[in-house]
Amino acid sequence: MDKGWGLTLESDPVTNNFFSTKTSSNTGAFFRLNHQRDMFQFPVSLTGSRDDRRGTSASSSSPSDDTRLPVDEVDFFSDKKSRVIDDDCVKKEHGEPAPASDLDVNTGLLLLTAGSDQSTVDDGVPSDREDRRAKDELVQLQVELKRANAENQKLKDMLSHVNNNYTALQMHLVSLMQQQRNRETETTQEQHEVQEVKSEENKQGEEIMPLKIIDVRPSGGAEAPEMVSTHSSSEERTRSGTPQNNVEKRIGREESTESESWGPNSKLPKLNSGKPIDQSVEATMRKARVSVRARSEAPMITDGCQWRKYGQKMAKGNPCPRAYYRCTMAVGCPVRKQVQRCADDRTILITTYEGNHNHPLPPAAMAMASTTAAAASMLLSGSMPSADGIMNQNLLARAILPCSPSMATISASAPLSTVTLDLTHSPNPLQFRSPPPPQPQPPPQFQVPFPGQPQNLPQVFGQPLYNQSKFSGLQLSQEMGFSQLGQQHQVPYPQLQLQQPQQPSLADTVSAATAAITNDPSFTAALAAAITSIIGGARPNSSSNTSNNNNNTSNNRQ
DNA sequence: CGCCTTTGACCAGCGC
DNA sequence: GCGCTGGTCAAAGGCG
Ligand SMILES: [Zn+2]
């Protein structure tokens, strides 16, 4: 996923907006600041999410959530300041006067005023002068525009950098963790695995062990390995053919309606000894699933991918049928998803994703993909009993759930590890502090609000951002799928609860970002991109999924 | 014409 | 071995 998409944070919209916003060259500085600030929200959000862990302490200084947001802004601002300075330098280069950053703002305002005055005054001035002035202004404006453009570009670059760095760090971290784990595992080896499997039944109580068994070397991030391994061949519908045997022993049936084992997974024979590690990895990865619980009238949530329905079944404990979809964005894409309504509350739509895409995805879709990958890696990493493992989980959880860390629950126990994002909680605990813009988004659907699609984002672990009003609580519950859903046997298996200390900050950050998005559509794309990278992708309306969203309505439901 | 949904059938795993 | 269940296949039909 690092592949190359990334980085180009779309800009056009931003830029355009930018320009349109700035009325006069002089004012430019001032507005620019504001814009920059906005733009930086991203980074802000980024930093916020990532800082949280380390930063929490720092943020601790600011107790309340409210303060939190400001803090972030401030930070950005500071960044911005530096940025501004740069700008100044640029200005100098261009030969324009470079006021101090702060002064700049004021100046801008004054100028603005002056400008307005001028316009009014103009009437009285002789035409020649007027023309000359106008020309001058025009030139200035143009220069300003150019400069602004350059700045934008710079900002974008910076942003990209930040995102990249962030991603890289995360990946690195994960990989390190995994490596460590692998080392441990290596000694154990396959046989060990088997043994563990056997023993596992006994020990189910212990969270970690199962994971260990499952894991295999996930190698780098979740994504890459997965995709590769999964691939077409196996993926193909080999009807039953490919046994991805892996360790999964008792997975077989997770009782909960939801947690059913997926495809190959279910097929996995319990312990078959021989399977190569790769397979197990593969299987593991496959097992890693991300389910999203969201209230939605729509039959399906829009997640940025193209899906094709290949089956529908009546689940046992649920009156509502379960629909099976596979990704059609690429021929061999192994990604599948199940969509089902919660038996208890039919307004809740449960979408479970499995596998990683083996093709480039739109940012929105990437969010999901990355989430899955992250989940997989999380699970894998989670296998580590050691402190490291915990840490890793925390990291992942953070990465995945920057929004509401508090809710993160990971249970390693279940054979099929599922990360559940529960977006069904109260609609907006987060609620933006700034009045949400009018935003016409009537559809109750669960769909990501981003109008513009960010083009490429660096991929990061993240979960899809369904910001809508919905994401309040994210819950990672893995265990057997959705305990809440079907019958919940509560699982004997232990769950790991990841609690993040700094919850508020994240939520705030997210909300802030969301607010920003909502406020300025032009930034949407950029913000979306950033957010997506962090949190996950959201769904820009139109494109790909169209088919899915509404159309299907008819299909299965009920 | 291509893509998608629908839907019954098929297959495999699991429990009895 | 039988039945149940979950997951998938693939023919048929619909839609743009
Ligand atoms: Zn795909």
Q: Kindly report, residue by residue over A321-364, the tens digit of the pLDDT.
A: 899 999 888 888 888 899 988 877 878 888 888 887 888 887 77
Quick one: pLDDT band at residue A314, thresholds 50, 70, 90? confident
Q: Is the CB of A34 under 7 A from strand C?
A: no
**Residue A7 and residue A164 in contact, taking contact as beta carbons nearer than 8 Å:** yes
In this complex, the nucleotide whose C1' atom is nearest to the CA atom of residue A259 is: C6
Give pLDDT, residue A273: 34
Which amino acid, residue A276? Answer: P
Q: Which residue is nearest to nucleotide B3 (CA to C1')?
A: A308
- What integer pLDDT is reported at residue A552 of this predicted model? 35
Confidence (pLDDT) at A310: 93
Q: State yes or no: pLDDT of A116 exceeds 90.
A: no
- Amino acid A312 CA to nucleotide C1 C1' distance, rounded Å: 28
Residue showing tokens 């190959």? A264
Strand C–CB A237 distance below 7 A: yes
Taking every pair of C-alpha atoms in chain A, what is the biggest distance, in angstroms? 95
Nucleotide nearest to A552 (CA to C1'): B5
The answer as to CATH 3.50.50.60 being correct for domain A285-381+404-423 is no
* A 288-317, residues with C-beta < 7 Å of strand B: 306-313
**What letter would DSSP give residue A447?**
B
Strand C closer than 7 A to residue A266 Cβ: yes
pLDDT digits (tens, 9 = 90+) for A259-290: 334 433 333 333 333 334 444 454 455 556 77
Q: Of how many residues is chain A composed?
A: 558
Query: How many Å lie between the centroid of ligand 1 and the Cα of residue A459?
Result: 15
Rounded to 5°, the CA angle A271-A275-A281 comes to: 95
Tell me the mean pLDDT in the region A534-543: 34
pLDDT score at A159: 64
Dihedral sign (CA A162, A72, A513, A351):
positive
Q: How much is the pLDDT for A420?
A: 77
How much distance in Å is there from the Cα of A184 to the middle of ligand 1? Answer: 33
Angle at which helices A12-21 and A25-60 cross, to 10°: 120
pLDDT in tens, A408-443: 344 433 445 677 777 766 443 333 333 333 333 333
- Protein CA at A159 to nucleotide C1' at C14, angstroms: 46
Percent pLDDT > 70 in chain A is: 19
Query: What's the CA–C1' distance between A381 and C3, in Å?
Result: 40
Is residue A25's beta carbon less than 7 angstroms from any atom in nucleic acid strand B? no
Mean pLDDT of A449-462: 32
Q: Is the distance from CB of A507 to CB of A72 less than 8 angstroms?
A: no
Does the CB of A326 fall within 7 Å of any strand B atom? no
Percent of chain A past pLDDT 90, that is, above it, reads: 2
Q: Residue A323's pLDDT is what?
A: 92
Distance A250 CA to ligand 1 centre (A): 28
- Which residue's structure tokens are 């563990």? A196
pLDDT one-digit tens code per residue, A4-56: 232 222 333 333 333 333 333 333 333 333 333 333 333 333 333 333 333 33
Query: Residue A188: which H helix or E strand, with range?
Result: helix A127-203
Nearest partner of A411 among A214, A257, A273, judged by Cα:
A214
Distance in Å from C15's C1' to A248's CA comes to 42
Q: What is the spatial distance, in angstroms and rounded to an integer, between the CA atom of A522 and the C1' atom of B1?
A: 39
pLDDT-derived band of residue A165, with 50, 70 and 90 as boundaries? low
CA atom of A329 to C1′ atom of B14, Å: 34
The integer distance in angstroms from the CA atom of A236 to the C1' atom of C10 is: 14
Q: For the residues A391-407, what does the mean pLDDT come to? A: 41
Average pLDDT over every residue of A170-197: 46
What is the rounded CA–CA span in Å between residue A364 and residue A357? 13
Give me the CA A282–C1' C6 separation in Å, rounded.
Answer: 20
Q: How many other β-carbons are positioned within 10 Å of the β-carbon of residue A142?
A: 11
For chain A, give every domain's residue range: 141-174, 285-381+404-423
Nucleotides of B under 7 A from a protein CB: 3-9, 11-15
pLDDT tier, A407 (very low <50, low <70, confident <90, very high otherwise): very low
Could you give the CA distance from residue A57 to residue A43 in angstroms, rounded to a whole number?
19
Lowest-pLDDT range of A358-367, A388-397, A465-474: A465-474
Pairing of strands A409-410, A348-354: unpaired
Q: Give pLDDT tens digits for A73-83.
A: 333 333 333 33
